[in-house]
Amino acid sequence: MISEQNKMKIKTMRMMLVFSVIIMVVKFAAYIITHSNAILTDALESIINVVAGGFALFSVYFSSLPKDENHPYGHGKIEFLSVGIEGGLILIAGGAIIVKSIQGFFHPSEIHSLDIGLYISVFAGICNYFMGIYLVRKGKAHNSSLMIADGKHLLSDTVSSIGLVVGLIVIYFTGILWLDNIVAIIFGAFIFYTGLKLLKESVNNLLDEADYEKLDQVIEILNSNRRVKWIDMHNLRVIKYGAHLHIDAHITLPWYDKLEDSHSEVTAVEMLIKEKLEGEVEFFIHADPCLPTSCPICTIKDCAYRKSDSIKKLEWTLENLLPDKKHGIN
């Protein structure tokens, strides 16, 4: 059963695919009219947008499928694979554009109707900007790396379009046609760099690179809503599966509490994180009994089993929550 949130993501990516096809047709029409290599760079990248949009739509659908026996953590990581494929395709397009533009110096083609090409490029750039803003906003709302990446890609297209328009204006008024190849090479390099960044982001996510922004967010939530019985916490991990988060942690609780009481505290931590963080969260918490070394950082006032005085409450930070080590006063 696909959730309402995932249905909205699928609808958004379907709209994105239709938009990409329309913009691709418009850009190639501009190239056919003008024969400009600079406009061709924009048109070739739009092919990438269509291919990536199609795979992104499938990825959003696949990632929305519920967990099963073969995928106990769900299917969310396909979003990272999709980002990587998009980045690889953009890399290829950027390289092809640079090669084609260099060849243009030796085999120049006649450029004409640049004014029409300018109008079309401005129109495409404006459309990309608003669609990019919309996708990034939706991606953040639904905690989707894929939607954010596609949105940022469209915004980078907007930057390319601005530069393209400026270059075409210069060519139009100066008549220096070889500038067309220079503009194309510059933006081919920019496209290549964009693809490299997306590819790197995809690999890092697939390798479960630590998301320090998300970790800081979790730590802030824990510190702001900390209960007295949450004596300590360590070995905190946040792993992303597309829009889903899997969080591991060890929490130190009073050793003398009943199992039912300890379970209640663990559940409170889990529900707190799920309430405060957007998207689906899976929390695995390992409960540790407190030790005498925990007494100096324990703030329970009426503890009958205290072995030493409470010295200070330990503020949880990125540095002391990540290591797999219980805390005390050194």
Instruction: Provide, rounded to the nearest whole percent, the portion of the chain with pLDDT above 70.
Output: 87
Is the dihedral angle over the CA atoms 198, 154, 44, 25 positive or is it negative? positive
Q: Is residue 73 within 8 Å of residue 67, measured between CB atoms?
A: yes
Where does the pLDDT of residue 209 fall: very low under 50, low under 70, confident under 90, or very high at 90 and above?
low
Instruction: State the fold for domain 4-206.
Output: Alpha-lytic protease prodomain-like (1.20.1510)
Token representation of residue 181: 């190849």
CATH number of the domain at 212-321, please?
3.30.70.1350
d(C-alpha 184, C-alpha 320), whole Å? 50
Question: How much is the pLDDT for 253?
Answer: 94
Can you name the residues that pair with 281 across neighbouring β-strands? Answer: 245
Q: Does pLDDT of 250 surpass 90?
A: yes
Candidate from 91-100, 110-119, 190-199, 209-218 with smallest mean pLDDT: 110-119
Q: pTM for this structure?
A: 0.57
Count of other CB atoms within 10 angstroms of residue 262: 18
Q: Where are the domains of the chain?
A: 4-206, 212-321
Strand, helix or coil for residue 160: helix
Question: How much is the pLDDT for 69?
Answer: 72
d(C-alpha 151, C-alpha 203), whole Å? 19
Please determine whether the domains at 4-206 and 212-321 fall in the same fold group of CATH.
no
Question: How much is the pLDDT for 2?
Answer: 62
CA dist 55 to 14, 89, 314, Å?
Answer: 11, 12, 47
Q: How many residues does the chain have?
A: 330
